[in-house]
Structure 1
Amino acid sequence: MRRILLVNGPNLNRLGIREPGTYGNVTLRELEQKLDLLAKENQLELICFQSNHEGEIIDQIHDADTNIDGIIINPGAFTHYSYAIRDAIASISKPVIEVHISNIHAREEFRHHSVIAPVTSGQIVGFGMLGYELALMALKERLGEELTHD
C-alpha cells in the first residue's frame, strides 16, 4: 500500500476558526478525516502531520524519504521564506505537491511568491479544501495509479 504524508504548517491547526472568509469553516480534523477516507478508497495510507515549528516539518520531510511514497504539503506562511523547508524537499527523492486553500497569487503581495514551488512536482492554489483532494489525485497519478472516487 502506498503511503502519503500530509503536512500542514503553521496556523493550519486553527482551520475552522481562523479567518473563515478566507479559509472556510472546515476544521483540520474534518479535512484530515475526509482525505483519509478518500485515501482508503484508493488503497492509500494517509499519515497526517501538522506543526507550527519549522524544524519539526523538516524532520518529517527527511524521514519521508525512506518510508513514504509522496507528500502533500501546505507550508502556510513558511511558503514565502523557508529556504530550510525548500532545501529539505529538494533533498528527498519523493514527489511533493504544494497546496494552498486560498489563491496566494490574488492576496497580499508578500504571499505571491513561493520559495517551495520550484522543488515540488506542482502547486494547487485557490480551490479551498478541494485542493487537498486534487493534490491526492495528482500524487496518485504521479505514482502511476489512477484515483477512484466513490
Structure 2
Amino acid sequence: MEPPLIAVLNGPNLNMLGTREPEKYGTATLDDVEALCAEAAEELGLAIDFRQTNLEGELISWVQECRGSAAGIIINPAGYSHTSIALMDALLAVDLPVVEVHITNIHRREPFRHHSYVSRAAVGVICGLGVGGYALALRAIAGIIGQDDTP
C-alpha cells in the first residue's frame, strides 16, 4: 500500500530562502526545507509532493489538483496569505485537511500581515517556529489523517 500523499505547497519569494532577509527567515534554503520535509514524511509513513511558485494562479491550480490525489495540504502561502481570497476559496473547495505554515510569527510583524485569508480554510496554523514548523505541520497532518499513533 502506498503511503498517503501530502502536498507541501509554497508561495511567492520562498525560493529566495537563505538569502532573503536571513535575520527574519534564517539561512536555510528551500532545498533544506524540502529535505527536512522528506525526512519527517518518511518517519511518519507519508509521501510528499513539495512545490514552490511565485504565481498565484499556479498555486491555486496545484491546490485544485490535490482533490482526489492528496490526503492533505501543508501550505506556506507567504504574501498570498493576506491577499488571496481565491486561494482561500480553492482550499475550501478541495475539502482536505490544510495546515498553514509561516516561518515567522505573522502576528509580531506589520499589521497587514496579522490577518490570513488562508487560515479560514486551515485546521491549524503554525507560525514563528522557523523552518521546523514544516516538520510540525507534517506531524499534525499525520495525526489528522490517522497516520500517526503518537499521543
Task: Provide the TM-score with structure 1 as the length reference.
Answer: 0.96
* Letter aligned with residue 33 of structure 2: L
Identity of aligned residues (%): 44
For the 8 Å contact 2:44–2:147, the answer to whether it is kept is: no
Q: C-alpha distance in 2, partners of 1:37/1:134?
A: 12
For the 8 Å contact 2:83–2:117, the answer to whether it is kept is: yes
Per-residue deviation, 1:41: 2.0
For the 8 Å contact 2:34–2:50, the answer to whether it is kept is: yes
Q: C-alpha distance in 1, partners of 2:34/2:97?
A: 20
1:37 to 36, 39, 46: 39
Per-residue deviation, 1:147: 6.6
Over residues 41-78 of structure 1, what are the superposed CA-to-partner deviations in whole Å (9 max), with x where a residue is unaligned?
22211110100000100001001011000010000000
Partner of 1:107: 109
List runs of 5+ in structure 2 lacking aligned partners: none
Partner of 1:23: 25
2:9 to 7, 10, 24: 7
| RMSD, aligned α-carbons | 1.0
Partner of 1:50: 52
Secondary structure, aligned partner of 1:26: coil
Count of aligned residue pairs for this structure pair: 148
Q: How does 1:1-150 map to 2 (within 5 A)?
A: 1-146=3-148
Task: Provide the TM-score with structure 2 as the length reference.
Answer: 0.95
Over residues 18-40 of structure 1, what are the superposed CA-to-partner deviations in whole Å (9 max), with x where a residue is unaligned?
00000000000011011101111
Secondary structure, aligned partner of 1:49: strand
